[in-house]
Amino acid sequence: MKRIVVSMMTGALLLGGVSSVLAQNEINERQRNQQKRIGEGVENGSLTPGETAHLEKQEAAIHHEVKTERQANGGALTAQERRQVNRQQNRESRRIYRDKHNGKTQ
């Protein structure tokens, strides 16, 4: 009986660790994807220098916030922090789309 309880607890801890790693990878992947989208906008001329600078500044702020929160929590984000970062990344994604499609060019 004791073995079963220990096995279940170990499994729960591993599962929690795996989901935390997956969430971190998802955040990192979104950051890379959004940087790629900004770069494509610069290359094809759909982003002006001012729009690019603003988007890059916002991306850097999100990245800095994630880095700081991870350091404060031993390398992982809490569920609340992940939700907050996800909302920020959603907002930034909409800004990228809007700036790339607003008709302003370099």
User: Encoding tokens for residue 4?
Assistant: 């079963």
Q: How many CA atoms lie within 13 A of 41 on its CB side?
A: 28
Start-to-end CA span in the chain (Å) = 69
Q: pLDDT truncated to tens, each residue of the chain (106 aa)?
A: 666 766 666 666 665 555 567 777 889 999 999 999 999 999 999 999 999 999 999 999 999 999 999 999 998 999 999 999 999 999 999 999 999 999 888 7
- DSSP at 75: T
